[in-house]
A and B are shown apart, each in its own frame.
Chain A
């Protein structure tokens, strides 16, 4: 166990806990954009920067990925921290001036108009969609393309993906609503032939359904809906949790939430 102080409040947490989690336990809120409970820390938006003090060292780190250290002092909302966060939000606001999430953040920080040229984009490149598709669904239908200013989320060679299972997880995690589900894409998935034509849970290797009572119309899938209601998260995150257990247990789980 490791003891540290966040905003002058002492707390003892398990080794490997991130600063974000430790602060959360103390009820201290740190803004995030690219962080998601179910995904590995990514550290891209840098909105969660905090100041750390350790012996002679004083620097800024991303709370979402930095692990706690014994005797560390963390300051989550010093002038310096707030100033840097404001600048980051100003960068994002100039990139996506019409995105609600960013506008709300800017409002809260008192930024009216960014001092930079506006780019009118939707995507902030937080990588949540790419990561959920890779880490959770295990599909990797989308990824990052190009570098730097030209970086964007796309399918390989900008062609319609032939591996997308139409689960909609990417769209559901997107903080800026930059990804929409297209019915066409789902239909394309349905038109897959023979053994490729499977339930998404089967494709993820969770179950071995041969027949679907729902005619593979996933957006009408009641199981999906129930999982979503029961766990308050997209079915794909729920599925990840179940994946570790055996298939039988999966069925018993389904039964349990059906009751």
Chain B
């Protein structure tokens, strides 16, 4: 059934809303990848069975939604219309949820979230501190929509912005509106979206392409994935508006094959949009044609780089090529091509619908709107958080993230993915936006945020990220291929206790060469982890090199485990987890640790409740 025009869409929306009773209880279960990790599919099946068993099909509806963001506490169940928030829901809890909360409107205390700092148990989703400090303009609908059902999206005014763009705005007006909103690319570099669109639009007539970059490869980052999985129509709508603005009739979604749920959901979304005439030939009878092809990426980090991505779609080896010419001038198959990140495109419908004035009120002077960060690492509330630009790192890590687990001290936060920099505690009040992050030597990147506590060795961190980049460098240009490898070698030596005087200076020299002379963004930013850790944690490097000591107790060759004779009470808890039987001792007597056998795995350290295992 095709929608004929703008009023047709409104009619469809109204009929969807009429069918739905807004007061009818609806159980929404998070079906995002994080919750799948907690086996949410079993909870989903249990809810289905229970509704059937209690014969409540007419009284209760259920919805499997996209990611809610609070992945630490999955599987997450939210019950509408009151928005009762249950976390860590197990299959056994399901009958109780239905019989108590749904039928008798009783709250099940034990499933509520407990704020570890205050002990308060908020009942409603909006009162959970993780959520109530966020500004979820893009991500918020994820929890209200079943991503495989276009009606859910249309019920929330979905595709309204597309109508406005197609029937009430010219392409130039759209670009002007986006320009006024000061939207900047969310993929990393933060280039002005409207400028990119304008250049592509101005390129000579004929074939043009628009590509949605969903090749999110940063370790620990999954916001693009969650948007694609949870609200694919939002991205599609943004993409169609973008295509209309630049004059493209063909689009590609370049998506990682490692994201099976996202691939599936976006495929379904495209099909549904095509059936309704929101995509394909003569969209809403406006005369505008636009088709989208999903291109599954083979999994190379470098393909997030525009020109490498284009090579990959063309079926060539995934190498970047020199710019200029920029893709906007000469891109896919030599045609003007516009590439936007998933999150950037998701911002577009909002800007068109609510206007640039509303949008540009959010954020800082040069960075507008919100940004989704994936808050991971040593932080209590792991998950996806959407905050207005300009919020301080402290607010993100401590207020939303709930601070560091086990009462440990905050040491640093790494932003911007593997090639971002580490920001130390002294800069924790830094407002997060494109400029501020670059100033301190890091970057916005795609929005990864890895929190590190006192037990993190910064040399080891730099070594880890350089290792990742060394494996992912395409190898085309000399500084990136050879330079990263050399830096990795030096860092490995330092961590092994084989560092020499002058290593830090050599590292800096290589890092600057790689940064300034590399061909593409991968190499140009690859030095950030090295440069920032040297800048802010130089003493740690020196300690490794001069005293052959790892202050954080991480680098295996520089530490040894031993048992504190005063604290050990001989409980024997550490004996069993030791994989090499290095710990021996009679019950209730002091245990001993055989250094020859010890492989420094840390299993005893994790087990001991009396802090009697010492790492030196």
A residues apposed to B, CB below 8 Å: 41-47, 49, 59-60, 62, 65-67, 80, 83-84, 87-88, 91-92, 94-95, 115-117, 124-125, 127, 143-144, 146-151
Given pairs A91-B478, A116-B489, 20 additional interface contacts (CB within 8 A)? A42-B321, A43-B477, A44-B478, A62-B322, A65-B322, A87-B509, A87-B513, A91-B482, A94-B482, A127-B476, A143-B317, A144-B317, A144-B319, A147-B300, A148-B471, A148-B472, A148-B481, A149-B481, A151-B474, A151-B475
Is the pair A66, B486 in contact by a Cβ cutoff of 8 Å? Answer: no
> How distant is B615 from chain A, measured CB to nearest CB, in Å?
31
Chain A residue contacts of B321, Cβ below 8 A = 42-43
B126 beta carbon closer than 8 Å to chain A: no
Chain B residue contacts of A125, Cβ below 8 A = 475-476, 478, 481
**Distance A124 CA – B475 CA, assembled complex (angstroms):** 11
Pick 21 A–B contacts, CB within 8 A, sort by A: A42-B322, A43-B322, A43-B519, A46-B479, A62-B322, A66-B324, A67-B324, A83-B509, A92-B478, A116-B489, A117-B489, A125-B475, A127-B476, A146-B475, A147-B300, A147-B302, A147-B318, A149-B473, A149-B475, A149-B481, A149-B485
Residue of B nearest to A67 (CB): B324
Specify which of B475, B477, B516 is in contact with A45 (CB 8 Å cutoff). B477
B510 beta carbon closer than 8 Å to chain A: yes
Residue of B nearest to A150 (CB): B475
> How distant is A161 from chain B, measured CB to nearest CB, in Å?
17
Q: Which residues, 209 to 249 on B, are CB-close (under 8 Å) to A?
A: none
Specify which of A44, A84, A116, A124 is in contact with B486 (CB 8 Å cutoff). A116
Chain A residue contacts of B470, Cβ below 8 A = 148-149
B257 beta carbon closer than 8 Å to chain A: no
> How distant is B541 from chain A, measured CB to nearest CB, in Å?
18
**Distance A130 CA – B326 CA, assembled complex (angstroms):** 24
**Distance A59 CA – B524 CA, assembled complex (angstroms):** 12
> Which 9 residue pairs of A and B lie closest in terms of their CB atoms, listed nearest first?
A151-B475, A91-B482, A65-B322, A43-B322, A87-B513, A148-B475, A148-B473, A46-B517, A60-B516
Q: How large is the interface on B (under 10, 10 to 19, 20 to 34, 35 or more residues)?
A: 20 to 34
Q: Type the 1/0 row for B462-476, where 1 means its CB is closer than 8 Å to any CB of A.
A: 000000001111111
Chain A residue contacts of B302, Cβ below 8 A = 147
Residue of B nearest to A149 (CB): B485
> How distant is B308 from chain A, measured CB to nearest CB, in Å?
11
B483 beta carbon closer than 8 Å to chain A: yes
Chain B residue contacts of A87, Cβ below 8 A = 479, 483, 509-510, 513
Is the pair A44, B477 in contact by a Cβ cutoff of 8 Å? Answer: yes
Number of A-B contacts (CB under 8 A): 97
Is the pair B478, A45 in contact by a Cβ cutoff of 8 Å? Answer: yes
B614 beta carbon closer than 8 Å to chain A: no
Chain B binding surface, main DSSP class:
helix
Is the pair A49, B517 in contact by a Cβ cutoff of 8 Å? Answer: yes
**Distance A82 CA – B143 CA, assembled complex (angstroms):** 56
> How distant is A150 from chain B, measured CB to nearest CB, in Å?
7
**Distance A66 CA – B326 CA, assembled complex (angstroms):** 11
Chain B residue contacts of A116, Cβ below 8 A = 486, 489
Chain B residue contacts of A49, Cβ below 8 A = 516-517
> How distant is A228 from chain B, measured CB to nearest CB, in Å?
30
> How distant is A13 from chain B, measured CB to nearest CB, in Å?
16
**Distance A149 CA – B470 CA, assembled complex (angstroms):** 8
> How distant is B427 from chain A, measured CB to nearest CB, in Å?
25
Known: A43-B322, A148-B473. A88 touches B479 (CB 8 A): yes
Is the pair B317, A59 in contact by a Cβ cutoff of 8 Å? Answer: no
**Distance A199 CA – B476 CA, assembled complex (angstroms):** 34
Is the pair B481, A46 in contact by a Cβ cutoff of 8 Å? Answer: no
Residue of A nearest to B323 (CB): A65
B265 beta carbon closer than 8 Å to chain A: no
> How distant is B314 from chain A, measured CB to nearest CB, in Å?
13
Residue of A nearest to B510 (CB): A87
B344 beta carbon closer than 8 Å to chain A: no
**Distance A146 CA – B472 CA, assembled complex (angstroms):** 11
Chain A residue contacts of B486, Cβ below 8 A = 91, 94, 116
Chain B residue contacts of A80, Cβ below 8 A = 516
Is the pair A62, B489 in contact by a Cβ cutoff of 8 Å? Answer: no
> How distant is A116 from chain B, measured CB to nearest CB, in Å?
5
**Distance A94 CA – B481 CA, assembled complex (angstroms):** 13
**Distance A146 CA – B475 CA, assembled complex (angstroms):** 9
Is the pair A60, B479 in contact by a Cβ cutoff of 8 Å? Answer: no
Is the pair A92, B482 in contact by a Cβ cutoff of 8 Å? Answer: yes
Is the pair A88, B478 in contact by a Cβ cutoff of 8 Å? Answer: yes
Chain B residue contacts of A147, Cβ below 8 A = 300, 302, 318, 472-475
Is the pair A91, B483 in contact by a Cβ cutoff of 8 Å? Answer: yes
Chain A residue contacts of B300, Cβ below 8 A = 147
**Distance A46 CA – B478 CA, assembled complex (angstroms):** 7
Known: A91-B482, A151-B481. A41 touches B322 (CB 8 A): yes
Residue of A nearest to B469 (CB): A148
B565 beta carbon closer than 8 Å to chain A: no
Known: A43-B321, A46-B518, A62-B322. A91 touches B471 (CB 8 A): no
Residue of B nearest to A89 (CB): B478
> How distant is B475 from chain A, measured CB to nearest CB, in Å?
3
Chain B residue contacts of A88, Cβ below 8 A = 478-479, 513, 517
B506 beta carbon closer than 8 Å to chain A: yes
Q: Which residues, 63 to 102 on B, are CB-close (under 8 Å) to A?
A: none
Chain A residue contacts of B471, Cβ below 8 A = 148
Chain A residue contacts of B473, Cβ below 8 A = 147-149
**Distance A88 CA – B517 CA, assembled complex (angstroms):** 9
Q: Which residues, 481 to 501 on B, are CB-close (under 8 Å) to A?
A: 481-483, 485-486, 489
Chain A residue contacts of B481, Cβ below 8 A = 125, 148-149, 151
Most buried by A among B322, B477, B478: B478
Chain B residue contacts of A91, Cβ below 8 A = 478-479, 482-483, 486
Chain B residue contacts of A62, Cβ below 8 A = 322, 517, 519
**Distance A17 CA – B223 CA, assembled complex (angstroms):** 42
